[in-house]
Structure 1
Amino acid sequence: MKVDKLITNVQVFNSFLKIFEWKDVAILNEKFFSIGMNNLMDLQPDVTIDANGNYMIPGLIDIHMHIESSMIPPSIFSKAGLTHGVTTVVADAHEIVNVFGIEGMNAFMKEETEMDIFYAIPSSVPSTIPEVETTGGFIGVEEVQQLLNHPKVIALGEAMNFDGIVNDSDSLIRQILHTVQEKKPFMPVEGHVPLVSGLDLAKFMYQGITADHTQQTPESIYEKVSSGMFIELQKKSLTKENMQAIVKNHFYEYCAIVTDDIMADDLLKGHLNENVRLAIEAGIPVEHAIYMSTYTPARRMGFQDRGAIVSGFKADFILLEDPAKMEVSAVYKAGKSVHKKGNEIGYPETKPVFPDTFYSSVHCEKTGKSGFQIRVEGKSAVCNVIRIAEVGTFTECVQREIPIKNGYLDWESSGLALIVVMERYGKSENKAYGLVENALTEKGALGTTWAHDHHNLMVMGTSIEDLIVAQNTLVEIQGGYLTVRNKQVASCCPLLIGGVISDAPIQVIGQQLNEVRQGMIDLGYRNSNEIMSFSTLSLPVSPAIKITDKGMFDVRSQRPIRLMEEIR
């Protein structure tokens, strides 16, 4: 019998026994045809590939991720992800949708990619409610109904609005959940469930939310899995303690390894394969880590044609020299070679093209000195301050007394940084002020339009002069990330498309972002992921206190928090 390819001398991962076996693998019409050592003499391959004893595993499947976190469009991301063995993703494009609405989603889905990119409907645009944050786009019931009919849409993206989900039966997120459950009752519903347990967890799950990808502890993993919730493990949850909890309780069937967010500079070095390697180092047995990044996620999303090397499944696979290290030797998509070790990440044959309006989306005025002065009468003010941590994106609210000088809050001498979020869509002139502790130790400023999830313009600094440069430059270049020192831009990563992505090669974006990251470190910013820590200071669903263009908010209650609690 004629077949297209025959892979010989290879150790094949058996997803159902969770072991490697010496097999020969035949491929026909982009699918696996035969896996075994018997009767292969009857096969007549067009091409025979000697795998030289390498290990063959299914293509990696990342079921919870945001392409925009890599600051590139799907066509460029596809090239980068395939390099690292990722052959299928389920993307929640709520970043581009927060900027452009359903038009942004459609623009992403129109892109041609070698990787199979499916989509989750962004359920949280905005992530909370319009009274808490201003977004450029909006996803309501009507938009959800449109997207439910698209063949690339297979899930509902992470539902994040705790108050709306748990306490408000008429909230938009409740309406969206009910619409999906009525129209597509078997569709997976993703959740954003940080630090939620007990009765609150039950209330979340009662609304149909069946997965969580946020930062976990051994206790949260046990409670959520034993309650019936599926756990998606991103990098910050891949701790030894968490992996021990999974191994001890044999939770492999109820967990998948995901990326959630991968910055452009990190994407040059790895993607889901890197998180799989970290899970192995933290204690997950190799075979189970592979299982949790291939077959388990495939089942979670209802795929019936991938995630294992079996007859009839798509011939998506990776060849590895050492599966424990997850270093990719070769990647095959639908039986076709798409990457070999040593090759550079490619660029699409056709440059991505988006509507003209996507390239001019920052519509706020440049700000001078007065924009960073806070007028107040008195001798001092007790202020509510956002304290950041060195690991993760959680924050806490603390109070600090700040002197008042010549009728202005003297924050520049306080040892704190001023953070300002400005509405950028031309809908209002909203501007909110906050103070941040454990941010910058040197004189300078940071700025971005990649501010989770609303993506308004956000600057933070210890010097008014540097803040002016940061804000003015972001308006001029129509968005991106940057650092400022001595009134000069020290590093810059322009993101011309919606202020969140770029059509430049990933190598260029990665280098620029790495320079911004180093610029933040030079200014004294300390966090396990500096970029993500800064960007999520504006995310009003990530505990415990965050800032938007409408002010500071307590995340759980969505209660506004005043900058100045008391004036003395």
Structure 2
Amino acid sequence: MTTMYKEDICEMIDAGAAKIPADLIIINGNLVNVNSAEIYPADVAVYKSRIVATGDVSGYIGAKTKTIDAKGKYIVPGLIDGHLHIECSKLSMTSFAKAVLPHGTTSIISGLDQYVVTAGLDGIEEILQEIDKTPLKVFWGLPFLTPYTLPQSNVGFNVTAKTHAEVQKWPEVFGVWETVSEFIENQHSDVMKAIEYARINRLPIFGCAPMTRGHKLNSILCAGVRLDHESYDHQEMMEKIRKGMNVIIRESSISHFLAENVKVITHLNPRLSRRVSFCTDDVIASDIINNGHMDKLIRMAIANGVDPLTAIQMGSINSAEAYRIDHLVGSVSPGRFADILLVEDLVKFNIDTVIAKGQLVVENHQTVYQFVPPKRSNVLLQSMKLKPVTADDIAVKTDVTEPTVHALSLDVDFDIPFVRRGRQVELAVKNGVVQPDITNDAIYATVIERFGKTDGKPKVGFCSGWKLKAGAMASSCAPDDNNVVCIGTNSADMAIAINHLAEHGGGQVIVKDGKVLGFLSLPICGIVSDLDPHTMAAEEEKLLQIARELGCDLPDPLFYMCCLQITAIPDYAITDLGVIDFHEQAVMDPVFKCGCTHGKLHPKCHH
């Protein structure tokens, strides 16, 4: 077990009383006080990992006290990402810390859910030990359940009510992570018990309520959900605020909601800002390297009309208060972690220096901290138990005798990321197998269980929107389940792609005409790597360019493909169980049984 309380409490009391000299002081800066909404000259004293004084710190200086002169700069609290699936970056915890700390992100709220489903609690303990050794803080919310899918798919480890009874008592747990509204609406027994345990343990419930309004919103609030990061427009967000929710504006690598949702402040009521914070949800290395992380969101908010002090509050204290961790982080205040940024210009928000847990990480725009990943155990390195597949395994079979059939294709909605609409397509049938159609942009999509829990036979459907003209692509990093997901124009290339991941311990791969064109190895749980962030960004760019050459014009074809397993967002998904109807919460046959669809994309015709 790890704990954030490293220092002895009596020692900290003495340090706050100036009976023990500070290790570090910052002088001559202008403090951005997010508690009082003021900016004024003040110095800061740090002892070990904590801030012990602000204002006049002359009495805290000793013979060994280090001094940083912040003349002409602003002293800003470290930034907090209020909801993040860290594993989607494909970077290990150490590599991810190296990527985001220079951008001012010193704390993250995460469920570590993809580590959970691939490596279980033993793996999580190893990851928590790794986190503890970096300057980055991760406030872990135990996932409300795993997997998140309805109906339940097969994963490496299931979080159940029994898990919550034990693990909610761990010191690393700060809440119940991403409680999907459908599970509350259905009163899922394990989820109800998890919420009851949270009440006993006084832990907040973190929500996931996309497009949730009216009676459904009232229902999840009555269950105790405290906050949500899934508003699809500012009116939805406004209703959630009016009903007492803390809301988080999401701006990820593929879902861009900040410009829309910040209108609750800039267009409706600026006094709402203290109920609003920021998150990135899912980010990739190339986005961080090229555009920034939480610092990017601060700049975007300012560009959209939010004043700099308010934007900084949204990126720091607001998240801390929403998650009930403001006694630890969120402001430059005595007793809090020494997470401090020196910023040259609040509008441009260019970060000069980063201190996290009292350690100097970035100085004069240069990373000075040494990030060294730990040795990995077999718990994290041997999660791929995927059986080989053949081209014949990857097919949509039908007993329809006509030469063509109507089928459902999962059509990616470029305007609303993650959302897959249903598209009706007419496809040829050969020897009882429904064929993909490149010209009609209807290709195969499959998910294969990779933890050795089932027979591992692929479940196959169709997808549209990728415009793939040849070949196949596959990934073992694919939330929420991290089973292997693959799309392709033909079964032979898809089988090669899937088997390549099985043979090489996981990753992302693109195949054409039987040849592997690009492969990114993700050996840790089959989902992340210890690659340097810049190296990871370069590898992502290589795969992107290969996908472009094969016809894909989505902003990030592999990332969009990986999201096909998410059943919590309408209208359709695909898991190792098959094609999933979000509204029915059931597996469905992607082939229509007759031409009569009554204007609805649903194969259950009784004619």
**Residue identity matched to 1:411:** P
Residue 480 of structure 2 corresponds to which residue in structure 1? 453
Provide the C-alpha distance between the structure 1 equivalents of 2:426 and 2:437, rounded to a whole number of angstroms.
13
**Residue identity matched to 2:88:** S
1:510 aligns with 2:534: no
Aligned residue for 2:287, secondary structure, equals helix
Provide the C-alpha distance between the structure 2 equivalents of 1:6 and 1:191, rounded to a whole number of angstroms.
39
1:412 is displaced (CA, Å) by 3.7
Indicate the larger mover: 525-534 or 150-159: 525-534
How is 1:80-95 mapped onto 2 (pairs within 5 angstroms)?
80-95=99-114
1:33–1:96 Cα change, 3 Å:
closer
Indicate the larger mover: 275-284 or 114-123: 275-284
Provide the C-alpha distance between the structure 1 equivalents of 2:445 and 2:533, rounded to a whole number of angstroms.
29
User: What is the aligned counterpart of 2:206 among 169, 190, 203?
Assistant: 190
User: What is the aligned counterpart of 1:58 among 59, 77, 81?
Assistant: 77
Provide the C-alpha distance between the structure 2 equivalents of 1:410 and 1:294, rounded to a whole number of angstroms.
52
**Residue identity matched to 1:424:** R
Residue 308 of structure 1 corresponds to which residue in structure 2? 331
TM-score normalised by structure 1 residue count: 0.92
User: What is the aligned counterpart of 1:384 among 386, 408, 413?
Assistant: 408
1:416 aligns with 2:442: yes
Native 8 Å contact 2:35 2:317 kept in 1: no
Aligned residue for 2:366, secondary structure, equals coil
User: What is the aligned counterpart of 2:215 among 190, 199, 203?
Assistant: 199
Provide the C-alpha distance between the structure 2 equivalents of 1:115 and 1:339, rounded to a whole number of angstroms.
13
User: What is the aligned counterpart of 2:171 among 125, 133, 151?
Assistant: 151
Aligned residue for 1:228, secondary structure, equals coil
Provide the C-alpha distance between the structure 2 equivalents of 1:29 and 1:436, rounded to a whole number of angstroms.
54
Structure 1 portions without partners, runs of 5+: none
Provide the C-alpha distance between the structure 2 equivalents of 1:88 and 1:143, rounded to a whole number of angstroms.
25
Provide the C-alpha distance between the structure 1 equivalents of 2:515 and 2:201, rounded to a whole number of angstroms.
53
Residue 121 of structure 1 corresponds to which residue in structure 2? 142
Residue 295 of structure 2 corresponds to which residue in structure 1? 273
Residue 465 of structure 1 corresponds to which residue in structure 2? 492
1:499 aligns with 2:526: yes
1:567 is displaced (CA, Å) by 4.8
How is 1:269-418 mapped onto 2 (pairs within 5 angstroms)?
269=290, 270-303=292-325, 304-344=327-367, 348-349=371-372, 351-376=373-398, 377-391=401-415, 392-413=417-438, 414-418=440-444
Residue 283 of structure 2 corresponds to which residue in structure 1? 262
How is 1:95-110 mapped onto 2 (pairs within 5 angstroms)?
95-110=114-129
Native 8 Å contact 1:213 1:232 kept in 2: yes
Native 8 Å contact 1:188 1:300 kept in 2: no
Give a deviation string over 1:286-338, Cα, whole Å, max 9, x none: 11110011111111222213211223333210011222233221101243311
Aligned residue for 1:117, secondary structure, equals strand
Provide the C-alpha distance between the structure 1 equivalents of 2:362 and 2:329, rounded to a whole number of angstroms.
19
1:484–1:334 Cα change, 3 Å:
same
Provide the C-alpha distance between the structure 2 equivalents of 1:443 and 1:560, rounded to a whole number of angstroms.
28
1:494–1:307 Cα change, 3 Å:
same
Indicate the larger mover: 537-546 or 517-526: 517-526
**Residue identity matched to 1:71:** K
Give a deviation string over 1:337-392, Cα, whole Å, max 9, x none: 1112443586633x323331432222222222212333333211110111102241
1:252 aligns with 2:273: yes
State, as a whole percentage, how many aligned pairs show the same letter.
24
Native 8 Å contact 2:78 2:106 kept in 1: yes
1:220 is displaced (CA, Å) by 0.5
1:161 is displaced (CA, Å) by 5.6
Native 8 Å contact 1:448 1:459 kept in 2: yes
How is 1:40-79 mapped onto 2 (pairs within 5 angstroms)?
40=58, 46-79=65-98
1:144–1:419 Cα change, 3 Å:
same
TM-score normalised by structure 2 residue count: 0.87
Provide the C-alpha distance between the structure 2 equivalents of 1:107 and 1:542, rounded to a whole number of angstroms.
31
Provide the C-alpha distance between the structure 2 equivalents of 1:39 and 1:320, rounded to a whole number of angstroms.
21
Residue 172 of structure 1 corresponds to which residue in structure 2? 190
1:93–1:31 Cα change, 3 Å:
closer
Provide the C-alpha distance between the structure 1 equivalents of 2:286 and 2:369, rounded to a whole number of angstroms.
15
Provide the C-alpha distance between the structure 1 equivalents of 2:235 and 2:463, rounded to a whole number of angstroms.
30
1:211–1:526 Cα change, 3 Å:
farther
Provide the C-alpha distance between the structure 1 equivalents of 2:231 and 2:516, rounded to a whole number of angstroms.
34
1:72–1:237 Cα change, 3 Å:
closer
1:406 is displaced (CA, Å) by 4.0
Provide the C-alpha distance between the structure 2 equivalents of 1:521 and 1:63, rounded to a whole number of angstroms.
33
Residue 605 of structure 2 corresponds to which residue in structure 1? none
Aligned residue for 1:251, secondary structure, equals helix
User: What is the aligned counterpart of 1:219 among 235, 239, 245?
Assistant: 235
Provide the C-alpha distance between the structure 1 equivalents of 2:24 and 2:363, rounded to a whole number of angstroms.
17
**Residue identity matched to 2:496:** V
1:522–1:285 Cα change, 3 Å:
farther
Provide the C-alpha distance between the structure 1 equivalents of 2:28 and 2:369, rounded to a whole number of angstroms.
29
User: What is the aligned counterpart of 1:134 among 154, 163, 179?
Assistant: 154
1:135 is displaced (CA, Å) by 0.9
**Residue identity matched to 1:138:** N
Provide the C-alpha distance between the structure 1 equivalents of 2:388 and 2:57, rounded to a whole number of angstroms.
73
**Residue identity matched to 1:338:** V
Native 8 Å contact 1:440 1:462 kept in 2: no
Residues paired across the two proteins, number: 561
Residue 554 of structure 1 corresponds to which residue in structure 2? 581
Native 8 Å contact 1:102 1:139 kept in 2: no
1:563–1:496 Cα change, 3 Å:
same
1:242 is displaced (CA, Å) by 1.9
1:435 is displaced (CA, Å) by 0.7
1:42 is displaced (CA, Å) by 8.8
**Residue identity matched to 2:334:** S
1:427 aligns with 2:464: no
Native 8 Å contact 1:216 1:237 kept in 2: no
Residue 9 of structure 2 corresponds to which residue in structure 1? none
Provide the C-alpha distance between the structure 2 equivalents of 1:89 and 1:441, rounded to a whole number of angstroms.
36
User: What is the aligned counterpart of 1:234 among 240, 247, 250?
Assistant: 250
Provide the C-alpha distance between the structure 2 equivalents of 1:385 and 1:465, rounded to a whole number of angstroms.
20
Provide the C-alpha distance between the structure 1 equivalents of 2:49 and 2:216, rounded to a whole number of angstroms.
46
Provide the C-alpha distance between the structure 2 equivalents of 1:532 and 1:566, rounded to a whole number of angstroms.
32
Native 8 Å contact 2:45 2:60 kept in 1: no
Indicate the larger mover: 506-515 or 43-52: 43-52
**Residue identity matched to 2:70:** A
